Structure 1
Amino acid sequence: MEYRRAYLPGACYFFTVVTDRRQPLLVDYIDRLRHAFRQVRNKHPFEIQAIVVLPDHLHTLWKLPRGDHDYSSRWMKIKRSFSAGLPATGLRESQRAKREKGIWQRRFWEHLIRDEEDWQRHLDYIHYNPVRHGYVRRAREWPYSSFHRLVAQGWYTEDWGSEVSDTVLDMQFE
């Protein structure tokens, strides 16, 4: 199958990345995931404008550098770095043939942010996601989120999320 992706240099993108078979690995290995992001960002810079990490998937907003559109290589390197040293489990034949470890779904969801309103909707979606999935009652209770940084910067109030609009609740990206 051929996927068409939107590649626009210097653009802002929303991503959803999911573990294979929704294995709840990411929170258990959060330091490994953080290291993978740091390692890739050091060599291939990009700005993480927002992120939330849940046990089996993550959502993030990235701003790529001017003149750079290569988010696919960055994701490949982040996934590879995270997976290094983790045991392969229950591999399907197609995964074995491609020398995969069965840690990540092969692809990811990407959305090119169109405007300020689109950016804000995705920002809200990211930070409300742990509440939406029932992990916590308030966004501020989830430790693996950029919500706390954005509260400190004045983007959100500490109690944000108690009355989230239907637009945020109805968004589906996973």
Structure 2
Amino acid sequence: HIDDMRKSFKQVPQNHPYTLDAIVNMPDHLQCIWQLPKDEANFSTRWRWIKVHCSPLMNKGGIVNKSRQKKGARGIWQRRVGEHLMGDNKDDAQHIEYSHYHPVNHGHVDHVVDGKDSSFHQCVDQGIYPSHWAAADALINLGLK
């Protein structure tokens, strides 16, 4: 489903702008960090449109209980999205680092660089991180372990 999701993430900003600062797709959930235009905080509309564009592209899947059936909801999306307004650049950086490390934290990969569906690789290409970022000796400095 990752290619379908990528299409949606590219299509939605054409009408509902945002900048995707970080994205990490894991088997059981997705984490994103967005920057919205100044004086706008409507994350929900963007998620709604991502779901609208992405859902028809995906095969039906996920568990659909009676409550979801009544509402016409699909089992591929969780009902609620956790939103957090960032405080400053340091807060932004910490959340981006946390997101990139998340697959290791959840046991999906052994090293951040091993996660294939992550914006971490773009950050390495841009020189933001070395490919060995968050190796065991660096984790203490990040406060991740």
TM-score interval, normalised by the smaller of the two chains:
0.7 to 0.9
Which residue of structure 2 aligns with residue 42 of structure 1? 14
Task: Say which structure is richer in helix.
Answer: 2
Correspondence for 2:111 among 138, 145, 152 = 138
Answer yes or no: is 1:164 the counterpart of 2:139. Answer: yes
Deviations 1:117-148 (A, max 9, x none): 21121111111111112222211111111111
The AA in structure 2 aligned to 1:72 is S
SS in 2 for 1:52: strand
Answer yes or no: is 1:125 the counterpart of 2:98. Answer: yes
Give how far 1:94 is off: 1.3
- Distance between the aligned counterparts of 1:156 and 1:88, measured in 2? 36
What percentage of residue pairs aligned between the two structures are identical?
39
The AA in structure 2 aligned to 1:95 is R
Deviations 1:30-72 (A, max 9, x none): 0011111112122211100111111111111100012332211
Which residue of structure 2 aligns with residue 12 of structure 1? none
- Distance between the aligned counterparts of 1:168 and 1:84, measured in 2? 37
- Distance between the aligned counterparts of 1:104 and 1:140, measured in 2? 26
| 1:146–1:90 Cα change, 3 Å | closer
SS in 1 for 2:117: coil
Give how far 1:167 is off: 2.7
| 1:82–1:157 Cα change, 3 Å | same
Correspondence for 2:4 among 12, 16, 32 = 32
SS in 1 for 2:10: helix
| 1:89–1:134 Cα change, 3 Å | closer
RMSD across aligned positions (CA): 1.7
Which residue of structure 1 aligns with residue 47 of structure 2? 75
SS in 2 for 1:168: coil
Paired residue total: 141
TM-score normalised over the length of structure 2: 0.88
SS in 2 for 1:117: helix
The AA in structure 2 aligned to 1:34 is R
Give how far 1:89 is off: 5.1
SS in 1 for 2:134: coil
SS in 1 for 2:139: coil
| 1:115–1:55 Cα change, 3 Å | same
Answer yes or no: is the 8 Å Cα contact 1:121–1:168 preserved in 2.
no
SS in 2 for 1:111: coil
